Structures are given as structure tokens and as C-alpha cells.
Structure 1
Amino acid sequence: MLERFFLDTNVVVYLLADDPAKALRAEGLLAARPCISTQVVNEFINICTRKLGIDRAAAHASARSLMAHCEVVPVSATTLSEAMRLGERYGYSHWDCLILAAAQLAGCRVLYSEDMQHGQQLDSLRVHDPFR
């Protein structure tokens, strides 16, 4: 049985990538019904429309599909407080700490991210780069 895990935005965006190997890996992770936060959904829509040039309706449709395949957890005041604590302890950006906090508060043991140090243990959460 897979450990409960969380996907960072950078992994989710590979669902739309021109890189077939990375897209396939992202699809495999999505098939296991991971956790994501409302932040991940918002960042996904922003990247789709601003960086990838996808029109708003298509980006929203992709986001709805993403949400249907994931457990979506909210970013709350508790998440913000935990993110600040993590930022002070580990020095990651506030946005990365919001991801870390949401993952930890959702009870995830693994965070799949391409942006953080592979193998790093952050409290109860281990960072894993799925493309290594």
C-alpha cells in the first residue's frame, strides 16, 4: 500500500508537458489519488494561462479534472501558521512552506516535488523528486 502523499504544483504541471516520460510519471502519481491543496490548483491554473498559453476555459476544465482525481485540502489559518513555523525552521520560501504545511496537516508522509531537496526529511514529511 502506498504511503499517503502530496503533489507539488511542478509535478502536476507535467501532466500537460511535452516530455512524455514526465507526463506519464505524473499520470501514474495522479492515478493513486494524491493530496493537493487549493494553492496547487490556483498555481496550476495560473501556469496554464500565463506560461503555457492555455485559454481560461480549458485551464479551468483541466483544473476540475485534476480536483476530481485528488483529495483537495484547503489552505487555512492553521496552514499559514504552520508554514511560518516551517519557514523559520527550514528556510524555504513562504510558498514552498505553504505546500509543506498543507502536506503535513493532511497527514501525508511524502511530498513529490521537483523544486526541493530530494530525500530531505522535514518533520514527518519526506521530499521525493519523482523524476530522478
Structure 2
Amino acid sequence: MKDRIYVDSNIWLYAFMKGNSEKTEKAKTIIREPGLILSTQVINELCTNLIKKANYSELEIQQAVKSLYSYYQVITIDKNIIIEASKIRLDYLLSYWDSLIVSSAILSECSVLYSEDMQHNQKIQNTKIINPFFVE
């Protein structure tokens, strides 16, 4: 079975941005992988940034949201995710929003969480955080 992979909003933002930067190309490759998962939080963050940073119209936002729900598994932030996020904050000192991302990945049984904003190679429970843009 292929790994379940949770993708944070920053990766989606690069994938949806116009242009051909190295990060954009890498992000576009990532979102073609099977088994990707995201949450309603990620969609909200993505839409906010597409409006602010990429001047997306409301029609483009609607199309992006429909596309995400059509092709990927989208989980809703619920009570269990919020409570697990609180426990994660106690142990790992993550921000409120990052802990929700990590909690969503863990409770979705993802072995990998792609994020540019968290510590590369950190493992929280059974989920490993990978910065796909990290260069050693």
C-alpha cells in the first residue's frame, strides 16, 4: 500500500501559483502523487493566500476548491483533531495552526507530512515531517 501523505497549505500555494520557479515545479510534482490528504484548514489558508498573493478571482477560487474536493481526500477539522492538536502543542511547542496540521495528518494515518514551515525530518508519533524544498 502506498503511503498516505498530508500536504500543508504552503505546498499547495506553490502548486497553484503561476510561473515556473523551482518550488512551483516541485509542488506540482508532489500534488500528482497518489494518496494525498488535506484538510478544510489547508483549503482556507490556500484560498486566502491565492486571493492576496496571486490575485485569484472568486470564480478561480471556486474552481480551485471544487478541484481539490474532486481529486483529493479532504478532512474536516473536528473535535478530535482539535483535542489532539492541544496534546501535540504540550509535547512539541508548535503553534496552534501548525499543531492542527500535524494532528490532522496523524489522525488521517499519514506517514508523511509535506510542509515548508516545520522542522524537516521531525517525527511526531507515526508521521514524519518532510520539507520537500530542503537542500542539504
Same fold at TM > 0.5:
yes
C-alpha RMSD of the superposition: 1.4
2:121, 2:129 within 8 Å by CA — same for their partners in 1? yes
Closer/same/farther in 2, CA of residues 87 and 10 from structure 1, 3 Å limit: same
Query: Can you give the 5+ residue segments of structure 1 that lack an aligned partner in the other structure?
Result: none
Shift of 1:52: 2.2
TM-score normalized by the length of structure 1? 0.92
Q: CA–CA distance in 1 between the matches of 2:70 and 2:133?
A: 24
Q: Which amino acid aligns with 1:115?
A: D
Partner of 2:22: 21
Corresponding pairs, count: 132
Q: Secondary structure at the match of 2:129?
A: strand
In 2, distance between residues paired with 1:101 and 1:78?
A: 9
Does 1:74 pair with 2:76?
Answer: yes
State the TM-score, normalized to the length of structure 2: 0.90
Are the structure 2 counterparts of residues 99 and 35 from structure 1 closer, same or farther at C-alpha, using a change threshold of 3 Å?
same
SS at match of 2:120: coil
**What fraction of aligned residue pairs are identical, expressed as a percent?**
30
Quote the offset at 1:19 in angstroms. 4.1
Please show how residues 1-132 of structure 1 align to structure 2 within 5 Å.
2-17=2-17, 18-33=19-34, 34-132=36-134
**Is the 8 Å Cα contact of residues 15 and 31 (structure 2) preserved in structure 1?**
no
Contact in 2 for aligned 1:6/1:35 (Cα 8 Å): yes
Task: Work out whether residues 115 and 131 of structure 2, in 8 Å CA contact, stay in contact via their aligned partners in 1.
Answer: yes
Q: Is the 8 A contact 1:44 1:63 kept in 2?
A: no
